[in-house]
């Protein structure tokens, strides 16, 4: 088995690729690693693929895959994970902001320290303050609180994985930001961190715009729900549906009982349907029924899922 697979998703990085591959190759040879480099061209519109073809003729360690169109970083990583054969899988960006010199220590932490996943931490960043660093701090703090994973830089592209980890998770949408959360959900709890050097961008520009500030929180909600209730959706929808139904029913019963009591004792009172609280109670009952039905339908979908009984088995004797 190869010692290391290096998975590199890329989009329009024709200028940085030759320098990056030369740098990686130099580091790998210095440490006598057996390795492969997997380049995933995520629908580049420049000459990135032509550059990859030239590099492939020079380096027999390169594997390359080209998407017909841009599918996103998560899709590129998932395809790279499927192809990877190394004992340790390293992911890094193609823009030269990740330093290949970090790879040997990341490899050691997986092999010797027995980590399942090691995430890089760009403690000193060479990015704009308001568009990159401040949103990143807020994002990392939020994810840390929700997931319970104590990482300072959850979205760092430079990470190392034990092979079993990347073969056990599925990355889609924009879930590349939450791979440590997906790994923890899959049962891999020994997650570490390493301070890594962040290089200034040398070529091109960032491929992630302001839309990530909308997609990020939505994906966080998705992954939080999936990790907690993916196999038991009724525990979420059914609980809240039942709660709202009971509250709405109790309020409705109270209003009706009050009406009957006051009528029997000749106490002036408004009609139940004239009271705003009645309509709020009716709304709670309707929402409760809808949530309960949503949980029931989700359970039916889950029961028919192909991986409903797929579990990660660590040992068998």
- Where helices occur in the chain by DSSP H, the ranges are 17-30, 48-58, 73-83, 103-111, 134-147, 163-166, 179-185, 212-229, 234-264, 276-303
38/23 Cα distance (integer angstroms)? 15
Q: Which residue has the higher pLDDT, 310 or 191?
A: 191
Query: Which band of pLDDT confidence, cut at 50, 70 and 90, is reported for residue 308?
Result: low
Convert the pLDDT of each residue in 107-122 to its tens digit.
Answer: 999 999 999 999 999 8
State whether the Cα torsion 55-11-9-69 is positive or negative: negative
Taking the C-alpha atoms of residue 274 and residue 280, their distance in angstroms, rounded to an integer, is: 12
Give tens-digit pLDDT for 59-85: 999 999 999 999 999 999 999 999 999
* Across 128-142, average pLDDT: 70
Chain segment 208-266, per-residue pLDDT in tens = 555 655 666 677 777 767 767 766 788 888 889 999 999 999 999 999 898 888 888 88
Q: What angle do CA 233, 235, 240 make, to 5 degrees?
A: 105
Better-predicted residue by pLDDT, 317 or 202: 202
pLDDT at 147 over 90: no
Instruction: List the one residue out of 121, 219, 103 whose CA is nearest residue 161.
Output: 103
Ramachandran class of 96: left when φ > 0, alpha when ψ lies in -120 to 50, beta otherwise? left
Report how far residue 312's alpha carbon sits from residue 182's, in angstroms, rounded to the nearest whole number: 13
Quick one: pLDDT at residue 197?
87
Least confident of 104-108, 270-274, 278-282, 309-313: 309-313
Cβ-in-10-Å burial (0-12, 13-18, 19+) of 129 comes to exposed
Q: Judge contact between 106 and 160, C-beta under 8 A.
A: yes
pTM above 0.85, yes or no: no
| C-beta separation of 74 from 215 below 8 A | no
């Amino acid at each position: 088995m190869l010692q290391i697979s290096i998975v590199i998703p890329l989009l329009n990085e024709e200028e940085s690729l030759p320098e990056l591959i030369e740098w990686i190759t130099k580091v790998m040879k210095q440490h006598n690693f057996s390795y492969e480099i997997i380049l995933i061209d995520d629908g580049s519109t420049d000459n990135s693929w032509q550059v990859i073809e030239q590099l492939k003729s020079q380096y027999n360690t390169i594997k390359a895959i080209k998407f017909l169109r841009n599918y996103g970083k998560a899709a590129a990583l998932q395809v790279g994970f499927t192809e990877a054969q190394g004992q340790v899988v390293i992911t890094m960006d193609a823009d030269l902001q990740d330093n290949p010199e970090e790879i040997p220590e990341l490899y050691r932490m997986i092999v010797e320290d027995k980590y399942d996943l090691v995430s890089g931490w760009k403690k000193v960043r060479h990015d704009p303050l308001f568009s990159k660093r401040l949103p990143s701090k807020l994002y990392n703090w939020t994810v840390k609180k929700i997931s319970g994973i104590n990482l300072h830089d959850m979205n760092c592209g430079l990470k190392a994985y034990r092979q079993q980890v990347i073969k056990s998770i599925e990355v889609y949408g924009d879930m590349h930001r939450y791979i440590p959360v997906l790994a923890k959900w899959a049962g891999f709890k020994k997650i570490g961190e390493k301070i890594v050097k962040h290089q200034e961008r040398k070529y091109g520009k960032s491929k992630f715009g302001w839309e990530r500030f909308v997609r990020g929180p939505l994906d966080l909600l998705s992954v939080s729900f999936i990790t907690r209730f993916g196999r038991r959706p009724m525990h979420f929808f059914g609980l809240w549906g039942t709660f709202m139904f009971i509250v709405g029913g109790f309020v409705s019963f109270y209003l009706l009982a009050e009406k009957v009591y006051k009528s029997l004792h000749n106490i002036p009172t408004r009609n139940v349907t004239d009271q705003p609280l009645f309509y709020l109670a009716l709304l709670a009952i309707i929402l409760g029924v809808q949530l309960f039905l949503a949980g029931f339908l989700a359970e039916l979908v889950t029961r028919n899922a192909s991986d409903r009984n797929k579990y990660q088995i660590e040992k068998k004797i």
